Chain A
Amino acid sequence: MQLNIEVNGKELQVRRDETILSALLRNGIRVPTLCSIKGLSPNGACRICVVEVEGKAGLVPSCSHPVEEGMKIKTHSPRVVKARRTILELLLSNHPDDCLYCERNENCELQDLAVELNIRERRISGKKGKHRLDLSSPGVVRDPAKCILCGRCIRICDEVQGVSTLEFVNRGSRTVVGTAMNRDLNFSSCISCGQCVMVCPTGALHERSNLDDVLDALNNPHQKVVVQYGPSVSVSLAEEFGIKAGKDINGVINAALRKMGFSYIFDTTFGADVAILESAMGLKKRIETNQFLPMFSSCCPAWIKYAEQFKPEILPLISTCKSPQQIMGSIIKSFFAPAEGINPNGIYSVAIMPCVAKKFEAQREEMTQKAISDVDAVITTRELARLIRLYGIDIHSIEPQQPDSPLGMRSSAGKLFGASGGATEGIFRTLHYYITGKEMQQPKIADLRSNGGIKEVEVKIGNKKLTAILVSGMGNLRALLDSVAAGEIKAHFIEVMACPGGCVNGGGQPFGSSEKDVKARTKSIYEIDEVETIKVAHKNPMVTDMYERFLEAPGSDLSKKYLHTRYTKRDVLM
């Protein structure tokens, strides 16, 4: 059903059920927005998207106002532009104005709007609230002074992630975005997924940067700095440097890291391959004994924290296998270092991840061996981009290089961990081999390629039919967990990724990427799987070699000691 409206003197046909904003955007008419975000309910908080509608007394927020037959809209009349400028000036009236030192400098929606609306002086000076910087969480920093109360973080935490850590607290001019009982983030139900950081238009929410730690280590002549990067980093970093989304710049990353002075450059995908072997072996045993099913995946630290807080009764069902990052960390210090004759104490282990929850994971007390952390510092894809700029490296002209041996070798199965469904696909390829003794005729399991949400897939392995459920975006999980706890789910494997679409859309990825960019990253990962020759983790020769020299076999007592972990109920304010 179509409606006719007139925008800036031009006739438009629009859908009956849409808002003015969506009608305008679909027809290529741009209106500035701040609080509005695709996929979330409109809350009309910021009013920057106001338009003039003939016959209506006040200006109308286009993001939350439905279209009506015969509406005559002006999007950039003098009245509208003046109102928008005033709104923005009011939003800026109590802003700290420390853009130069802000995390979001040159990457800030508020700053961009100030440019767009040509705000060049402070006309309105508001009272600045006294706010405390919340540095309690290892992943997410809260800086309420920079908050413009758009409520995006509140909505994504509640509507998409189902975690509901943040809420508007107090009223009127004292309103802030806060947690329950105004406690710090580390006491709250926050799972550190970082999706709030991704949607924050300003620097009010950002990751806890570990760049200084990494720089100190690089400058320390007594330390060997070892680095690993996650499977989805190589297909996401390019966007930070204006290269088209999804371009795989693996080799360039190796070369850049080597130039910066990292002693050894490894690929977390090696760890993912090991995780596949351990998880497939664990799953095989659970299926044989018909115990602890369905098995939940364990690679996403935000999901683990979620389970520990919200559903501790299902913890025994989660695979005990550490995440690829922690497996790499453990192998680097416990196997690689002794083999190279390096004292593990002299190693500083850095992980580059698309994720802020990984910063939390690296600090977990379970993730240590004899008081030495598996991983010493975690930086995000964004922080890597900063590091590259800081060292003056020109990504566009640098020659690609190989990672170091032996932990740089990978199969494309491990690479799939970057996308939702990828871990399951990788694990099932190896599970097929473990159960039937034969390789899959066609390693590609297209059904397991998910675009987010929740998906149930049946995979035939030998004469068995195994059921996998893929979940990404925690909001999709709660009902499923209740059913699992009630014993109503007959699936064998459930893969959970906190971020919608998986790590390609992680909380540590470049700011300002569109849905299309995220899809391009996913596509790129699957293209790598098409062209590479080693498509199953158990055929990664370096993984096999590592087991022969160090851990004996997947699921052995040694691998339990180094590669497996435990989970505990977590008492937080929910």
Chain B
Amino acid sequence: MRSRIESLLENYTHSKRDSLIPILQQIQDDLGYLSEEAVVLVGKHLSMPTSQIYGLATFYNQFRFEPKGKYHVQVCHGTACHVLGAQSILSLLEKMLKIKEGQTSRDGQFSLQVMSCIGACAHAPAIAINGKFYGKLTQERLKEVIEELRQQ
């Protein structure tokens, strides 16, 4: 892990603070999340305190601090989905998976993320699991989807 982050930082040898967001994005693309180690290494690289990096990263929804699960569940919370019950979809998912938004289940199977909009408004309420879209969800259908994934 460390060597991967370090080699990634080599592309930013003369960078300053203004490269912080691109660096974090690239690390997250590569590792799936921002580990404590990554935050510390970026801090050393840019001579920035880790608190400020963490403060910035938590400001944006896009950054996560736990590895993604085998199934990464993205819940759309755009206007259309919100109107058609995204909140109860999220609540049900949190209850079924026993995790909160931004977390990963202990067995590493599921992770949960809330998105501003995934662009499937016609199919609201919608979620995406590992990039595959599930639309017009009902509580029953959602339970089935999750159960199917659990069986696999």
Contacts and interface: CB of A to CB of B under 8 A. Distances in A.
A326 B49 CA distance: 31
B65 A181 contact: yes
Contact of B55 (A163, A169, A188): A169
Contacts of B87: none
B58 A180 contact: no
B69 interface: no
Contacts of A180: 39, 49-51, 53-54
B43 to A, nearest CB: 7
B interface, how many residues as a size bin?
10 to 19
Nearest to B49: A164
Contacts of B49: 158, 163-165, 167, 180, 189, 574
A180 B54 CA distance: 6
B40 interface: yes
Contacts of A169: 54-55, 58
A226 B39 CA distance: 46
Contacts of B55: 167-169, 178
Nearest to B36: A181
A178 B53 CA distance: 12
A148 interface: no
Interface in B39-81: 39-40, 43, 49-55, 58-60, 65
Nearest to B56: A167
A180 B50 CA distance: 6
A181 B59 contact: no
Nearest to B48: A164
A137 to B, nearest CB: 15
A169 B50 CA distance: 12
A149 to B, nearest CB: 12
A167 B51 CA distance: 6
Interface in A546-574: 573-574
Interface string A151-183: 000000010000111111111000000111110
A171 B59 contact: yes
A170 B58 CA distance: 5
B54 A164 contact: no
B38 to A, nearest CB: 11
A189 B49 CA distance: 9
Given A171-B58, A171-B59, A573 B52 contact: no
Interface centre among A158, A164, A182 (most CB of B within 10 A): A164
Given A181-B36, A181-B65, A574 B59 contact: no
Contacts of B60: 171
A571 to B, nearest CB: 10
B43 A181 contact: no
Given A167-B51, A180-B54, A573 B36 contact: yes
A122 to B, nearest CB: 28
Nearest to B60: A171
Contact of B50 (A168, A170, A181): A181
A189 B36 CA distance: 14
A168 B65 CA distance: 17
Interface centre among B50, B52, B53 (most CB of A within 10 A): B50
A164 B36 CA distance: 17
A533 B47 CA distance: 50
Given A169-B58, A171-B58, A171-B59, A181 B39 contact: yes
Contacts of A167: 49, 51-52, 54-55
Contacts of A166: 51
A179 B43 CA distance: 14
B59 A170 contact: yes
A397 to B, nearest CB: 49
A527 B60 CA distance: 55
A158 B53 CA distance: 14
A179 B58 contact: no
A189 B40 CA distance: 12
B117 to A, nearest CB: 17
A167 to B, nearest CB: 4
Interface string A195-207: 0000000000000
A165 B59 CA distance: 17
A167 B60 CA distance: 15
A144 to B, nearest CB: 14
A574 B40 contact: yes
A169 B53 CA distance: 10
A182 B52 CA distance: 12
A573 B52 CA distance: 12
Interface of B: 36, 39-40, 43, 49-55, 58-60, 65
Top 10 closest A-B pairs, CB basis?
A: A167-B55, A164-B49, A180-B50, A167-B51, A180-B51, A180-B54, A171-B59, A170-B58, A169-B58, A181-B36
Given A180-B53, A181-B65, 4 more contacts: A167-B54, A181-B50, A189-B50, A574-B50
23 contacts: A158-B49, A164-B49, A165-B49, A167-B49, A167-B51, A167-B55, A168-B59, A169-B58, A171-B58, A171-B59, A178-B51, A178-B55, A179-B51, A180-B39, A180-B54, A181-B39, A181-B54, A181-B65, A189-B49, A189-B50, A189-B51, A573-B51, A574-B50
